[in-house]
Amino acid sequence: MAHPFKHSQSSERKFGGKAEDYLPIHNWFDESKAFVADFRHRALRHHAEGIFLAEKLFGVAIVNSDGNQVPVRYVGEQHVREDLGRIPTAQDWLLQLKPQRWMYGHYAALGIVTTMPRS
């Protein structure tokens, strides 16, 4: 989905209440678009660990405008599945990074890291 409000409308259909009830959660998942304006922004929060982090930030459940408790984890799972078709782990994303020399930090310069990827 292209916009957090569209995810929120989907949450409204799925869990009841109003789209605005879910917008803060969906906005949080997509905040990283502010500095990575393509699909790569999803690597930062669109995974199982991101869903659990959302639960820590927003609480175990929200109360929607119908007065029903909706687990934040369910809302996060819905968001990630709508975007990716599944819920990956953070490792799934990170394994796709191509290591660069600078990523090893000063350890490479000190000779602590002996194997460097080929560019």
Sorted by where each begins, the domain ranges of the chain are: 4-88
What are the pLDDT digits (tens) for 65-104? 999 999 999 999 999 999 999 999 999 999 999 988 788 7
CA distance linking residue 100 with residue 13, whole number of Å = 44
Reported confidence tier of residue 1, pLDDT bands at 50, 70, 90: confident
From residue 95, alpha-carbon distances to 1, 36, 43, 98, 110 in Å are 24, 19, 11, 8, 25
- Other beta carbons within 10 Å of 35: 8
Reported confidence tier of residue 63, pLDDT bands at 50, 70, 90: very high
